[in-house]
Amino acid sequence: MEKFFHDEVVKCANNLLNVPMNEMSVTIITPECPLCFEGGTITVNADQWQKYANGSALVQDAFPDMTPDDREMLISGTHASCWEVLWIDEEES
C-alpha cells in the first residue's frame, strides 16, 4: 500500500516536469548590447516575467534563480561575453 502511494507521488512529479516549456516560459528580446550592438533573447519563467514586467517586483526579486549574467542581459542587453572582453581590455591598458 505504501509503495503504491509512493509510485503515485513520483508519477505526479514527473507529470509536472513534463509540462511543455512554452506554457511556462516566455522568450524576451533583450535590449541592444551597448558593446557589440547586437540584441539577444533570454527565456524566463512566465510568472516571474509577469511580476517584473508589471513593476510589482524588482529584477532580483522577480528572478531569484537567475544568474547575474542573465540579469545584466535582461536589464541592459549586455552579453556576459562582452563584459569579459571589456574587463580584459581595461586590464591590459
Q: Which residues bind Zn ion (CB under 5 A)?
A: 33, 35-36, 79, 82
Inter-residue contact 78 to 62 (CB < 8 Å): no
Q: Which is nearer to Zn ion, 35 or 57 (CB)?
A: 35
For 13-19, the CB contacts below 8 A with 24+ separation are: none
Segment (H or E) for 90? helix 80-92
In angstroms, what is the minimal distance from the CB of 68 to Zn ion? Answer: 16
Q: Which is nearer to Zn ion, 38 or 47 (CB)?
A: 38
Q: Which is nearer to Zn ion, 28 or 35 (CB)?
A: 35
